[in-house]
Structure 1
Amino acid sequence: MNPLLKAEQAVLGSVLIEPGQLDRLDWLAPDHFQRPVHRALFAALRTLRKVGHPAVAGERSAPSLSWVTDAVDEAGRHVRGLTAAYPHTLISACPRSEHAPVYGRMVLEGAIHRSVTEHAIRLHQAARADALLGEVEGALHHADVLTEVLGDLARRWGTEPRPVAPVPVPVTAPLAPSSVRASRAAEDEQFLLAVLAERPGAVDEVVGWLRPDDFADPAHQQLYRCLGALHHRGEPIDRITLLWEAQRRGLLADGTLTDDHLTAICDGVGAGSAEWLGERVIRSSITRTAGASARAVRSLAENEALAPGQLINHALHALGPLDDVRIRWQTANGRSATTRAAPAPSPAQVHAALIRSTSLPGPPASSRGGSVPTPASARPPSRGHG
């Protein structure tokens, strides 16, 4: 049994039985339906209402034959495989037509999970492509698109989009780069560290925007931390002081750094532009971070137990590390850091929240003991829904 399929059938059946239910589903769009036949049929029903079909104005307790047949004819112009008998299947799949907004919420919830999954996959693909080309624009563009989608879905669901860390925070394995990309990134990191260790003042060129986590190799991360510590204390930097700092941190004793690592850095080519090499390192960091964020968002979206509000806010939190490295990359390139502001919500996009926050009638307050609970209309729209 597929609950999402049942919900799509039920919401369509409720509108076929009672066309006036469309007035309570303005926040639901055809694209929110998973099956193409359902998308076409819901679009057809909205079209018939827009042109003023006679069944829309009437008060009927039973389906109007013309309403059903005209909907099939209109939908059949845009999709194949819709038979005249299928609307009757939809009508029989609807337990109660007055529950249409609840069925619509179920459809919207499935659409939210599906949409977030699709955009996370696109971000992951763009990150992998950029990593091969040494670019970052594609990954950053798709990250912006995903953020905008999350904001739009939040407003449709009736909640405020804000980053919230999941509890517990899922552990995402590092993106496994191809051997070509890994070797190229390792070379850039080695060259950069060699320049920083050998050329006086080179650390000043990158310390303001390059972080240890931007290095893919854990040993290189630790060496950059050693260089940063020496720079912070105002001590001289060369291969001997770097080796001494590594020993003081226990990196030689615990095997974090080996003779091969130190030889590759200290005996490497120490000439070149630290700023240029640092930009190459941070570019690789952007694509790695984008890939990791995309996989974290996809993992969240594939968790059907997450309510839409929780999914959206956790996904925004998963994109946070990418925003951080983006800002530092913009600083490295002399660009002003930009932050994305969510557009103001439209009143037409909060009907789902109103449906969700409307409480069922209960017994009078005098018949209940204890304190009087807060009315549903006074609660934040996201309470109980992530």
Structure 2
Amino acid sequence: MPHNLDPEEDDLDTIPASQPVFHVEQALLGALLLDPRRLGDVTGIYADSFSTAAHAALFAAINALPPPDPDEHARNITWLNQVLAAGREQARGLTVSYLHTLIQVCPWPRHAAAYARMVEAEHARRRLRAAAEHLLQTAHDDTLAHPVPTVLAEADVLAAVVDDIATRFLPRAGALPRAPASPPAIVPDHTEATEEEQLLLATATARPADIESVRWLLAEDFTQPLHAGLWQCLTTLVRRHEPVDPVTVLWEAQQRGLLHDGREPSDVLRLLAEPAGSVEHWSQRVLARSLLTTVDHAARRIQAYSDDPLITPFQLVAGARRALADIGAVRTRWQHATGRPLPQRARAAPTTRAGPSTRLAPVASPPSARPATGRTP
């Protein structure tokens, strides 16, 4: 190929190639530069499917320009000049040298469809991780006046990404993902949670008749093992229709082994002796915190899946849906607690058989849709 394109000194050959997908993107772009007719074989990806701005700009330029006549393209570089000029509008560092590199590193232009599928798979992984990161950030946003509805709306955004990936990568046999280690969770400050749980336990001990109205609260929602055990003591006594007061709860706690760690009985009696507010109010506070904790754990699990290169796109879907199911279970209890069902988007039907992927023709990237996350009550 002649080297008489409009030259510049900037050279993208020095872009770090730390991930295999970088080389896959180079091979795909090289195939399209060598044989622009291969663009018809490429589906399911957009400019933003690429990992670098330069690659995205080149793909957008190739996709936007009319394909050249094959014979003319074999004889001159007019079309390549047009691609370079269009690509530079978005990535000024693109050079003649880099286009030559792309052409030289492409093993087989006829494999363009396979390269595109690999790019699509890696883009799905990045999309999923980005959505999980945003969910995690929202769950830890202390500025939200009403965090639960906002966080659940963000969980729906993540679920929509999972559903879209599921339509593009249909299941195969043995698709269950392995369980990679989740990133370490941020150790929360449980001071406020401890105080609220203690107020709930004391208030429920003073007003045991109100416990029946908060059956949606579970022991697993508490942050402290002792508090979870005392809640089980209270609900057990109520279910048996036995007397409830600090002494009867203390006795039940002893039967359950809650005092075997050296805890003084007087500490438990003091904990149960200062009621305030209502059982329902404190129960909702405990459940809200439990929901946010569940979201945190689910988002970190999905991050771990997306960071594991051995997990396939459909395995990402399977693992993410399992994590999102944990959020859904607490969400249902939250709806019972508040009496205000939160709007839920329509879920895509689960895929059950293998087959060709449902992929869109390469067109301009669709605008990202994100539901409003304003502070609604």
TM interval, short-chain normalised:
0.7 to 0.9
Amino acid of the structure 2 residue aligned with 1:116: L
Aligned to 1:39: 56
5+ residue gaps, structure 1: 355-386
Provide the C-alpha distance between the structure 1 equivalents of 2:101 and 2:167, rounded to a whole number of angstroms. 33
2:255 to 248, 254, 257: 248
What is the SS of the residue equivalent to 1:54?
A: coil
Provide the C-alpha distance between the structure 2 equivalents of 1:337 and 1:45, rounded to a whole number of angstroms. 44
TM-score, normalising length from structure 1?
0.79
Provide the C-alpha distance between the structure 1 equivalents of 2:114 and 2:239, rounded to a whole number of angstroms. 59
Range that drifts further, 150-159 or 220-229: 150-159
- In structure 2, the CA distance between the partners of 1:47 and 1:192, relative to structure 1 (3 Å rule), is same
Aligned to 2:272: 266
Provide the C-alpha distance between the structure 2 equivalents of 1:144 and 1:75, rounded to a whole number of angstroms. 35
Aligned to 1:176: 187
Aligned to 1:380: none
Amino acid of the structure 2 residue aligned with 1:126: T
Q: Deviations over 1:159-179 (max 9, x none)?
A: 49xxx874458577665113x
Q: Deviations over 1:325-351 (max 9, x none)?
A: 1111111111236654334699xxx86
- Trace 1:293-308 onto structure 2 (pairs within 5 A): 293-308=298-313
CA contact (8 A) 2:298 2:323 kept: yes
Aligned to 2:12: none
What is the SS of the residue equivalent to 1:136?
A: helix
Superposed CA RMSD: 2.8
5+ residue gaps, structure 2: 1-16, 360-377
Are 2:54 and 1:54 equivalent residues in the alignment?
no
Aligned to 1:20: 37
Q: Displacement, 1:112?
A: 1.7
CA contact (8 A) 1:194 1:266 kept: yes
Provide the C-alpha distance between the structure 1 equivalents of 2:136 and 2:331, rounded to a whole number of angstroms. 16
Give percent identity, aligned residues only.
36
Provide the C-alpha distance between the structure 1 equivalents of 2:293 and 2:31, rounded to a whole number of angstroms. 47
Aligned to 1:90: 102
The number of residue pairs the alignment matches comes to 337
What is the SS of the residue equivalent to 2:289?
A: helix
Provide the C-alpha distance between the structure 1 equivalents of 2:236 and 2:76, rounded to a whole number of angstroms. 78
Are 2:242 and 1:235 equivalent residues in the alignment?
yes
1:311 to 312, 316, 323: 316
1:99 to 95, 111, 125: 111
1:125 to 133, 137, 140: 137
2:202 to 184, 190, 194: 194
Provide the C-alpha distance between the structure 1 equivalents of 2:255 and 2:105, rounded to a whole number of angstroms. 71
Are 2:198 and 1:156 equivalent residues in the alignment?
no
Q: Which runs of 4+ in 1 moved over 6 A?
A: none
What is the SS of the residue equivalent to 1:319?
A: helix
Provide the C-alpha distance between the structure 1 equivalents of 2:183 and 2:67, rounded to a whole number of angstroms. 53
Aligned to 2:290: 285
